[in-house]
């Protein structure tokens, strides 16, 4: 059984705006044939507040957030 990690409050977290910038620069989020989404970039996952290499069942909300233009300088 895999070890579980708790996500606590992280100091120095880049936030959603930083995640959008990282996503535009590097990508870092992939979708599988089954429709799941996976953060492939560790920095992007940390900025978004998620874990890398974990399959999320509905990636549409994550992608919409990362692709949106609001609150980005």
Q: State residue 15's pLDDT score.
A: 77
- Sorting pLDDT into bands at 50, 70 and 90, what band is 8? low
Mean pLDDT value across residues 33-59: 92
Q: State residue 2's pLDDT score.
A: 60
Helix, strand counts (H, E) of the chain: 3, 3
- Sorting pLDDT into bands at 50, 70 and 90, what band is 11? very low
């Amino acid at each position: 059984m895999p070890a579980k990690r708790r996500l606590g409050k992280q100091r120095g977290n880049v936030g959603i705006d930083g995640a959008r910038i990282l996503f535009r620069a590097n990508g870092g989020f992939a979708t599988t044939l089954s429709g799941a989404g996976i953060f492939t970039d560790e920095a992007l996952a940390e900025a978004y507040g998620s874990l890398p290499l974990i399959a999320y069942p509905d990636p549409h909300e994550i992608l919409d957030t990362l692709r949106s233009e609001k609150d980005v300088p």
